[in-house]
Amino acid sequence: MNMIKKTSTILLVAVIIALTGLNSFAQSAASISVPLGGNAWLSKGAIAKISDKGLNNWSSANDKISIYVRFEQAGELNIALKAIVLTGASRISITVNKTVLTKTISNRDTAVINFGKVVIPAAGYQQIVLQGISKKGGAYADVSDLVLSGLALAKGAAYVQDNHGNYFYWGHRGPSVHLNYQLPEEVADKAEWFYNEVTVPQKQDVQGSYFMADGFNGGYFGMQVNSPTERHILFSIWSPFATDDPKSIPDSLKIILLKKGEKVHTGEFGSEGSGGQSYLNYPWVAGKTYAFLIRAQGDANAKTTIFTAYFKEKGQEQWQLIASFKRPRSGFYLKSLYSFLENFEPEMGDITRQVYFGEQWVIDTSGRWWAIDHARFTADATANINYRKDYSGGVQLDRFYLRNCGFFNDYTVMKTNFTRQLSTTPHPVIDFDKLP
């Protein structure tokens, strides 16, 4: 009996060791291919190009190519490149933190070339930088993928895995993030006005940003950074006809412009649904607070709603009319109120930006004011499929905030609910009779 027990114990220990060894082998053997087409960024003024096929035209030693991957645990990481050298031989470096791996490659066929190992010190994003050292041909190499393996991948990684659904484009734009405001039940079907305050901190007004203040069922209203010299106050209403081509909307379902403010441009938009659009060139300034006011006049009998947008710098008395649109197949008031932050320029998706949303108020059809202090954090498909994880939101200094892009590590769990402390001051004073 003792011999049998001893033998059983030995067998059990052997099985445990074998399973542990297999698990360790599986973790160390974990491997991913990170396509540069969706995950690489070029240094300013670079000559090299990033296309859907990866890195090409890489001929300058000054060019730095950064690839960002988020690892979910610390550990050893092996790094290789899937590349081809068309002529000559090239010496290339790969830098992770302070570790530099170098290798001379000259393969005339596409191959996976191993560069060596580094240690990922903690969970989070890592910047992996490629740079040419010397070459005998016209270009250092064409590189399609970064091939990674090792224990650092045992719990997974966040990166743009492929280009299905044009995700190389969306991945470069980065994740869009939202605050979905929760209204009191008493005002759920009779919210006529929505007031919100927006502050973009200094140096957070990154080109390509849309800081959307007043979103609702049917449209959105906020401010953009369109170029180094141009900024817009943008107000758009979607047509109930589902299409990305505004020219295909039947006349009966078009958005009708009723009036617009001075110097406001109006027209149609497409590509992300279609409808009526208006914008004002306005030099808004980071660090200042701006007020956004939207009105919905629902006509249940005619099944239409008139949406009107007003804007001003906080502290000023005079509101500026942006535009007023009539939307068919409607008849409702404001619902599904939200704010969002997005980057619409793919080449700017590696830069972080943040925005604060201060006072939110709803005025019902009887003229009663309701403060909003609850919001739920959500994000778009790029975040939901784990291609980008640099997104966050919450409450700071009694204001809601949103932040995205730039590959920061402290992400916020989606569908988190936030509550901000309501201000002790009364609601804003608005003379509705004097609105333009």
Identify the pLDDT of residue 425: 82
Report residue 15: phi and psi, to 5°: -65, -45
Beta strands in 217-337 (DSSP E): 219-225, 231-238, 256-260, 264-269, 275-281, 289-299, 304-313, 320-327
Cα→Cα distances 54→145, 329, 354, Å:
7, 46, 30
Residue 271 confidence (pLDDT):
81
- Tens-of-pLDDT digits for all 436 residues of the chain? 444 433 344 343 343 333 334 333 333 448 999 999 999 999 999 999 999 999 999 999 999 999 999 999 999 999 999 999 999 999 999 999 999 999 999 999 999 999 999 999 999 999 999 999 999 999 999 999 999 999 999 999 999 999 999 999 999 999 999 999 999 889 988 999 999 999 999 999 999 999 999 999 999 999 999 999 999 999 999 998 888 888 889 989 999 999 999 999 998 888 878 889 999 999 999 999 999 999 999 999 999 999 999 999 999 999 999 999 999 999 999 999 999 999 999 999 999 999 999 999 999 999 999 999 999 999 999 999 999 999 999 999 899 999 999 999 999 999 999 999 988 888 999 999 999 9
What pLDDT score does 21 carry? 40
CA distances (Å), 210 to each of 53, 251, 254, in order? 29, 30, 25
Instruction: Specify burial of residue 59 (Cβ count, 10 A radius: 0-12, 13-18, 19+).
Output: middle
Residue 15 pLDDT: 37
Q: Which domains does the chain have, with CATH numbers?
A: 30-159 (2.60.120.260), 174-434 (no CATH)
d(CA 273, CA 253): 13
What confidence score (pLDDT) does residue 347 get? 96
Let me know: does 335 contact 361? Beta carbons within 8 Å.
no
What is residue 26's predicted lDDT score, i.e. its pLDDT?
39
pLDDT at 241: 85
pLDDT at res. 229 = 96
- The pLDDT score that the predictor gives to residue 61 is 97
Distance (Å, whole) CA 178 – CA 402: 7
Strands 219-225 vs 231-238: parallel, antiparallel or unpaired? antiparallel
Residue 323 in contact with residue 235, Cβ under 8 Å?
yes
- Please compute, for residue 353, the number of CA atoms within 13 A of its CA located in the half-sphere on the CB side: 29
How high is the pLDDT of residue 190?
94
Lookup: tokens for 12: 């059990």
